[in-house]
Amino acid sequence: GTPHARLAAGGGRGGEQSGAGGGHQSHQPAGSGPGQTPASAPPMTPAEREAGEYLVKQEELRRIKQEVLPEVDKLMRCGEFEEAIEHLEDGVAFASGFDERELLDSLSCLLARAFLGQKKPKEALMGLNPALMHARREGGPGAIKPHSIAAEAYRCLGDVDKMRVELRALIEAATESVDEPEQGAALLLAGCLLHDVGDVHAAVPLLSSAAAAGEKLGDFGMRAGARNRAGAALLRMRRPQQALEAWADELKALEDGDTAAETEAKAGKEAEAVEAAVRMEALVVGSNARGEEGAASWAAGSRNTALRTAPQPLRPLRPRPKALGDTRARRCRAHGNMFMAQLLLGPAARAAAEQHLQLALSLARQLSPAEEHEARVWVQAGHAYHLASTGAAAEGEADEADRAFAKALELAKMAGADDLIAAAQRGLAKDLDVDALLK
């Protein structure tokens, strides 16, 4: 019935005819002898054509899901966005042509992410358009990803009003989701973007909710990230005590994450060993049962009983939580932030502040390159001393700021870190924007 089968059947008949004359077989196709026109295959019926298109579509879907998407993921992780974009644009064209809505939305979001990786927000919005239009029409939890990417793109373009529109749609979509990690991630993104554009009063409640979600879910990364931005927002609101509390919780989340990763790794190995033993025992017992009952079933004339005696499959091994990796750099920044908050609380908190500075410097020296990380801590310390040097009573803090910036400049030159050299030089020149320091 298929075109290939029909062609094969026709070829077989031609061979029989040419071989019917006493063993001599002509190599000419049937119907192509002298004075005859070459035969052509019968045209495909609409049903055959539809079946062929379906097979082509299924093969391309398989290729995209099993070959293209893993390759795109690898390319984007390596920062090879140009090559990833080529694959994704081909995939978008295919998904659009065959009206594969879910695949089209997914590929459009990935394409927009790749363009954002190239710092091309306009192109990102163009690539995102199919998914974003669908999100605006349908809403619901599926709209979370398109609206979040659109908000980031408008933030990069500096269009704060459109960013806010996308964030409102994002939060609305998140409230309809039953996926708590997805909700937490949406709250975190919204809070971070609002913080970045200076709307700290709107950012703090969202960041607090994201931190609470992270704590409930045991997502240490979400909790730490939310507390980090919340602390910065609270300090800009001139609330150093609340900022200190936020950063203290960030530090605790990072430390808890390290402890949990070690505990889970150990427990995971023990659980795997136990469950492997249980699985092996179940297989042996199940095999014996199938052998005994299977023999009885054959004797009784039933061949299906043995299949029904197979043991129930064990639950799969539980997945381990996502590790935070090496948190020393993040803990270093957290201690630096806590130093700043403590210093702004006044002379009574000075001793506690200095402890956090020393802890930050100790962690910086464990990182590589040590000079660059230590220079960054001293720049942060200079900013803190500068913020604390208001009024005549804080005259000494200005001198401390100069010493911190001088130390930062020395280390930054050793590390060849141009951005830190410039920051230290601005600090020594008193060319500092207080609001910018608190971002």
pLDDT at 209: 96
Q: From the centroid of its chain, how far is CA 303? A: 50
Cβ–Cβ under 8 Å, residues 331 and 363: yes
φ, ψ for residue 239, nearest 5 deg: -125, 70
Q: Tokens 């609340």 correspond to what residue?
A: 242
Q: Is the pLDDT of residue 323 over 80?
A: no
CA 308 remoteness from chain centre = 43
- At 389 the pLDDT is 83
pLDDT tier for residue 283 given thresholds of 50, 70 and 90: low
Largest CA-CA distance found in the chain, in angstroms, rounded: 121
Between 411 and 25, the higher pLDDT residue: 411
Query: Do residues 428 and 406 lie in contact, with contact meaning Cβ atoms separated by under 8 Å?
Result: yes
Residue 430, by phi and psi: left (phi above 0), alpha (psi -120 to 50) or beta? left
Sign of the CA dihedral 41, 43, 47, 48? positive
Number of neighbouring beta carbons within 10 Å of residue 88: 28
24 phi, psi to nearest 5 deg: -80, 125
Place of tokens 């097979």: 55
| 3-state DSSP percent of the chain in helix, strand and coil, to 5 | 80, 0, 20
Residue 395's pLDDT is 56
147 within 8 A of 164, measured Cβ to Cβ: no
Q: Which of 173, 140, 69 is nearest to 111 (CA)?
A: 69
Residue 306 pLDDT exceeds 60: no
Q: Is the pLDDT of residue 314 over 60?
A: no
Neighbouring CB atoms inside 10 A of 341's CB total: 26
Is 90 exceeded by the pLDDT of residue 26?
A: no
pLDDT at 324: 75
Whether pLDDT at 375 is above 50: yes
Kindly report, residue by residue over 208-220, the tens digit of the pLDDT.
Answer: 999 999 999 999 9
Q: Pick the closest to residue 110 from 139, 57, 154, 146 (CA basis).
A: 146
Kindly list the distances between the CA atom of residue 175 and the CA atoms of 143, 182, 257, 291, 429, in Å, as whole numbers in the listed order: 11, 10, 27, 54, 49
* Rounded mean pLDDT, 283-302: 51
**pLDDT average, residue stretch 180-189:** 95
The angle subtended at Cα 198 by Cα 192 and Cα 201, nearest 5°, is: 80
Looking at residue 259, what is its pLDDT?
81
Single-letter amino acid, residue 376: R
Evaluate if residue 153 carries a pLDDT over 80. Answer: yes
How far apart (Å, rounded) are the C-alpha atoms in residues 411 and 75? 35
Do you know the residue count of the chain? 439
DSSP state of 24: B
pLDDT-based confidence at 321, cuts 50/70/90? low
Percent of the chain with pLDDT over 70: 73
Report the pLDDT averaged over residues 347-365. Answer: 95
Q: Where would I find the beta strands (DSSP E) of 312-391?
A: none
What's the average model confidence in pLDDT over 128-144? 95
- In degrees to the nearest 10, what's the CA dihedral of 131, 136, 137, 139? 100
8 A C-beta contact, residue 432 and residue 420? no
Can you read off the two tokens belonging to residue 298?
Answer: 């054959």
pLDDT at 95 over 80: yes
CB-based burial label for 399 (10 Å; 0-12, 13-18, 19+): exposed
Position 365 pLDDT exceeds 50:
yes
Residues near 95 by Cβ (< 8 Å), separated by ≥ 6? Answer: 64, 103, 104, 107
Task: Considering only residues 424 and 310, tell me which one the structure prediction assigns the higher pLDDT.
Answer: 424
Mean pLDDT of 97-118: 94
Confidence of residue 420 (pLDDT cuts 50, 70, 90): very high
| Least confident segment among 180-189, 268-277, 297-306 | 297-306
Q: Give 315's pLDDT tier (boundaries 50, 70, 90).
A: very low
The per-residue pLDDT for range 240-273, each reduced to its tens digit, is 999 999 999 999 999 988 887 666 656 666 666 6
Q: Is the peptide bond before 369 cis (omega within 30 degrees of 0)?
A: yes
What confidence score (pLDDT) does residue 279 get? 64
Rounded mean pLDDT of 105-113? 96
Q: Which two tokens stand for residue 152?
A: 């980031």
pLDDT band at 360 (very low <50, low <70, confident <90, very high): very high
Average confidence score pLDDT of the chain: 82
**Sorting pLDDT into bands at 50, 70 and 90, what band is 52?**
confident
Q: At a CB cut-off of 8 Å and minimum separation 6, what does 312 contact?
A: none
- Per the listing, tokens 């694959």 go with 87
Strands (E), 344-436: none
What does the pLDDT average to over 34-60?
A: 76
Of 67, 47, 66, nearest to 55 by C-alpha is 47
The end-to-end CA distance of the chain, in Å, is 70
For residue 18, what pLDDT is reported? 41
Mean pLDDT of 56-71: 91
**Mean pLDDT for the stretch of residues 367-380:** 96
The predicted-structure confidence for 390-410, as pLDDT tens digits, reads as follows 644 455 678 999 999 999 999
Alpha helices, DSSP H only, in 197-346? 200-217, 220-236, 240-300, 305-308, 328-344
